[in-house]
Chains A and B, each alone.
Chain A
Amino acid sequence: MPSTSMETEQSPIIRLRKITRRFPGVTAVAEVDLDIYPGEVHVVAGENGAGKSTLMRILYQVERPDAGQIYLNGEPLSFHGPHYARALGVAMVHQEFALAPHLSVAENLFLGREPLRFGFIRRRRELAEARRLLEQVGLDLDPRRLVASLSVAEQQLVEIARAISFNARVLILDEPTATLTEQEIARLFEVIRQLTAQGVAVLYISHRLDEIFQIADRVTVMRDGRVVATLPLAELSEQKLVQLMVGRAITNLYPRPETHPGPVLLRVEGLSRRGLLHDCSFEVHAGEILGLAGLIGAGRSELARAVCGADPIDSGRILLDGHELHIRRPADAIRAGLAYVTEDRKREGLALDLGVDQNITLASLPARLGLLLLRRERSVALHACQRLNIRTPSVRRKVRLLSGGNQQKVVVARWLETQARVIFFDEPARGIDVGAKAEMFALIGRLASEGRAIVLISSYLPELLNMCDRIAVMREGRIVGTLSRGQFSEERIIALATGASEVTIP
């Protein structure tokens, strides 16, 4: 393992100075300084939304920084996009892979730069080169196989092989283990160590504590777009790392709603869906806000979707007011009084080409004998806009033209019209600006205080800690713990969600 003293011996291959990137309503990356040395595994850690991915996208020149300078081997870089970054030896493996599934491994490796002779692809040359590259990442498979037939881990190694085939000196891996098994992770780590032994600098984004302590040479912790600290691993303990990631005293960004939980309204018993959900049980009281915490992929959305009939379940019972519900499709859940405000409003929530009014009434069309009551629809929509403060010049405006926050409110308005008594909010604040966020959370609090049961899914812990009466933590499709308000701490939740031994904060 390279020693940390190389800082003094070697000059950094990459230097970031005062890098800043703003998005509407939020500064994703703020004045970040970062030095990356050849041959090190440099982990960038932080909570979801801390700015890790944005920073990496800036380095790979997908995202243009608003301010700041990147130096490669001491030379200032201009911005030309990912092609330029790759030509300079900076490669990135994204969370979602960019391979063409219907082409072979070899074809994918050389896509866009096939070895040619007289305009024909030199297939034998291509295959030989591909074998050499695969060997380099420790992947023993026939390069003629189609990418679609590979496992996720194999595809990832193919991606890495492609990245290093550009003679990458800096390799960026964005949460590479999200979908891998233990053995696959071990193999990936081996490949990473081989690469660093050859002098490649590996930038590794992660928020999994166990991994960080296995692979990192140095760790940079980001929070709210800023670098909090860069430390050699030797100077870090799990406890200290968690403290750095969490950092702030829990501030009151979110209005703590006045909730008065009543009797149990929704009870879910032993809900399972093969490969995704394992024996999930929880209950929500009327007037209560239950948080669902966990890492991305822990099964929170899957649980909400299963309860609300969007996905089939293999076993388990769902009871509302003590009566068992038989939910086979979303319509059944809606009729029973459940609602699911989806995470991805554009893909799953809104009919973007329809009007505000038509989106609001989509799940509760006022109709008599099949004929729409258009005047009634209009008044329902007007009142919903008024009540939720949806800002639109007209209720007939296409939803596509509204801001993210207003779009989100349109989705919520739709579910309020169905008289839902239990509402699942899946990342309700994602992609909306700060003002709209505060409004959204105030609204959620109001809905709970009116006696509805709320299940709030969020990857941003401060949201959950402030809003919720209780928090259930999920990991790998299971509910691994439920905390009541007195037991709330970010450290405890992160420990449950990552499976790290619990960190006790003095």
Chain B
Amino acid sequence: MKYELKPWLPVLILIVLLVLFSLFFQDIKFKIYDLLGISDAWETRYSLAKLIGQHIVIVFYSGAISIVIGVILGALSLSERFKEIRILIEKAVYLFQMIPSLALLTILVPIFGMGQKTAVVALVVCGVLPVYMGVVAGVNGVPSDVIEVAEGLGMPKLRIYRQIVLPLAMPVILAGFRTSLIINVSAATLAAKIGAGGLGILLLNALKTGKTMTIIEGTIPICLLAIIFDICLKNIENIFYVERKSSN
């Protein structure tokens, strides 16, 4: 089967946009300030590229850990052996999701200290639920008659999971990953509050100085990042659908 590269074109364009933005936006901003005669004395010069890099790193770690934990919890609550504690796992995951991220950060700082590590822990707590839900909904969504027939035809359990359940649940599981990552991209702005860096620094700064340009400077890359992650994962999801549709 020939794989289409076309769906990845928007990703490329968006990455180029992001790079251009991080290279040139500050110069443009200061030019505008000069033009309007606004003092930029309070304006600190940040390397936008570095902030974006920090942001991505935080999202990457928290996303990866969320996925691992979410998948493990999902698998546990689906397995026969842990059926009794399924409700416990579920409630715990939901409960953690309900804690506001800001409150979570404040709770975690005394335990883990300031910095990136704490931010990642907080984001993982936020990011686990969508992953968990994706796994559970995906696996439960596999038609039971399909599984019954697979069993009835004498497929071993493990093979049923590998060849039937997993491929059929995959699109929903990946949708969970996607939701989790996107939540993390925006929630990662709060990381700045505890000295973990990232694009949130710009937003916090803008809150203090009241400068609209700085807000724009922080928000646009965050949105671009979210969209890039979204399209990437959507494309991966589609691979699983395309396989089922192509008939020739």
Q: Do A and B come from one complex?
A: no
Interface on A for B, CB 8 Å cutoff?
A: none
